[in-house]
Structure 1
Amino acid sequence: MDKLAIFDVDYTITKKETLMQLYKYVVLKDIKNIRFLPRALYSGAMYKIGFYDEKRVKESFLKFIDKIHEDDLLKLVKNFYGDVLEKILYEDAINMMKKLKGQGYKIYLISASPEFYLNEFYAIKEVDMIIGTKFSIENKMFMRKMNGENCKGEEKVRRLKEVLKEKNIEVDYKNSYMFSDSLSDKPLLDLVGNAYLINYKKKSNFEILKWK
């Protein structure tokens, strides 16, 4: 049986929220992309008052790369990782991955962020599997249409078990680990025997780790 060390991404292994970092990166590359900012702010406001769910917010927000060719998207996210993402990683998160990998654990990243750029985290040699929110590619063009559900909460558990079933992997959950910054990941935190909240500022029944 495999033992897993599961990590959320945003604010767990990274110091900042990655999707917003992608938008800022695209704006810096071409200031004309600032025109999508009002849409982003509007979508966020609609979410806060309950008119939009997270799926609709993300589909709306990603207008700034809508219909980009998949080859251009691959180049964009590769550069995004090198220029931004790898510079905002918590050193303590990477050290934990290295430690647990050395103890025979499989390292899984499971996040609600889009999988099309999360896949760049395979550059971290310890990472075995990445599961994120999927978006559609049609006729080799990126479509801001979510493929399936937003990978959050119970959906993370469903997606994990789906991948494990496909790969015929049995897991020793009692001795596995889960790290997250948020109680939105309680379904995954409850799944394992070793669950930790990262830089959490409230009281919790889960042990809290301070990562830098």
Structure 2
Amino acid sequence: MRVAIFDFDGTLYSKETFQLMMNHLKNHPEHSSRYRQFYRTIMPPYIGHKLKIYPEQKMRERSVQAYLAALDTFTQTELEQYFGEIAEQMHGDLNLTVVERLKNHVANNDYVMLVSGAFTPLLHAVTKQLPIRTIIGTEILYKNNVVDHRTPLSHVQGPLKTIKIKEALAGQDIDWANSYAYGDSHSDLPVLELVGHPVAVQPKSKLRTVAEQRHWEII
């Protein structure tokens, strides 16, 4: 079985999910009051990252956890509705070239996967019209049907992506040499290196350097 693995931010989606999520919370007609506490929480790790004294991975983990904490009273239904609102704003910014590649892989009977650090309900909402077999994202936990923001999230990024991919494909005979992966940043390298056909999509400078040195396809 061949697989085709797609990153989301900067790849299938041409912009950054977290910035849109921040703006949605800040300007929300009902929930904008939650933004101030969220902003205060994320600023120390963000500044530390900019000063190069706090790791980017940790900064991203803290930010995602803080965002969920800002939605601490949401039921699962309310949260899915909230992410549906965000998804509606994203459809016009999908990378149409990458969407076409995805559909071509489906037509070729490749097993299509979406793997991202974005929240899983948001990924399902924004891609519900696309023929994706498996979606791997950052799962949200609930306690008594209310968001459990106190339990640390397992934020899917970097090497954890490859672990999750292999878990999802356990027991399958994968033709890695003839499989594809699409990503835009250096942090996607562990996934891109899994396959025989890595594709750099609008790559950031570090990934572009690697892609050019290794003669990978660049979109």
- The CA distance in 2 between the partners of 1:43 and 1:206, in whole Å, is 36
TM superposition score normalised by structure 1: 0.87
Structure 1 residue 63 displacement after superposition? 2.8
Q: Aligned residue for 1:112?
A: 117
**Aligned partners of 2:150, 2:13: CA distance in 1, in Å?**
25
Q: Sequence identity, in percent?
A: 22
Instruction: Give the alignment partner of residue 209 of structure 2, picking from 189, 192, 203.
Output: 203
Query: Out of 187, 191, 196, which is 2:194 matched to?
Result: 191
Q: Larger strand proportion, structure 1 or 2? A: 1
Judged with a 3 Å threshold, the aligned counterparts in structure 2 of structure 1 residues 111 and 93 are, in CA distance, closer, same or farther, namely same
Indicate yes or no: 2:124 matched with 1:123: no
SS at match of 1:196: strand
Distance in 2, matches of 1:199 and 1:22, equals 22
2:80 pairs with 1:71: no
* Greater CA drift, 31-40 or 172-181: 31-40
| AA at the equivalent of 2:218 | L
Q: Secondary structure at the match of 2:109?
A: coil
Report the 3-state secondary structure (helix = DSSP H, G, I; strand = E; otherwise coil) of the residue aligned with 1:144.
coil
CA distance in 2, matches of 1:161, 1:90: 26
CA shift for structure 1 position 25:
1.4
Between the two proteins, the alignment pairs up a number of residues equal to: 206
How does the TM-score come out when normalised to structure 2?
0.84
Matched residues in 2 for 1:195 and 1:143: separation?
37
* 2: CA distance, partners of 1:3 / 1:147: 34
Q: Which runs of 5+ in 2 are unaligned?
A: none
Verify the 8 A CA contact 1:59 1:146 in the aligned structure 2: no
Cα RMSD, aligned residues only? 2.1
Unpaired stretches in structure 1, ≥5 consecutive residues: none
Paired residue for 2:137, among 125, 132, 157? 132
The 1-side partners of 2:84 and 2:190 are apart by: 31
Deviation at 1:186, TM superposition (A): 1.2
